Structure 1
Amino acid sequence: MAIDKATVHGIAKLARIKIDEAEAESLVGELSNILDWVEQLGQVDTEGVQPMTSVVEMRLPLRDDAVTDGGKAEDILLNAPEAAHGFFVVPKVVE
């Protein structure tokens, strides 16, 4: 896929980067080469290949979703400078 200078300037504007004409000329070739490589990936036969999230086959360990540490609200509120009705009391910040 060929890219022209106008496209490079459009991409630069979207990316909010400033490029001059010399940089635009070099980026035309670089971006065209990148898109050529991406087009080559479309030619790879992936029939029967399972999608993967890592190059190493692994499974995450599973555990029961159960509360193992709780019921300590009173102990936690002992750390608060001020508490009321089972909640932390904080200064008002909005008038």
Structure 2
Amino acid sequence: MSIIVKKSTKYLQKNSQVLVQSFLGFTTSPGDTRDIDNYWKLIGKKGLVLMNEKEGGMSRHVRGERVLVKFSDDVKAMGLNFHNDVENSLWMFVVDLMPCEDQI
């Protein structure tokens, strides 16, 4: 398992385009990860920040700040589990994302 070590990422604003560079700080999934929980499949995928955790009525997570990201790819078709009202969206930690200049 590879880990990305980096400094805190500056806050990503609503409507920012982002690219997933890791999940939970790692670039590969643990060997025992179930397919529906293998969110590492999102690495390299682009999305749009819809809101931060405060706007979503969530308290800050111990691992850091999260934002709701709507992906341009079909998350369900990738076999991933998601529980959000907005289709193809997942709460992601800001440190796992990087700004993306390309259009989605």
TM-score band, normalised by shorter chain: under 0.3
> Between Structure 1 and Structure 2, which shows a larger proportion of helix residues?
1
Structure 1-normalised TM-score?
Answer: 0.19
TM-score, normalised relative to structure 2? 0.18
Q: Say which structure, 1 or 2, has more relative contact order (CA 8 Å, 6+ apart).
A: 2
Determine which structure has the larger strand proportion and give its number: 2
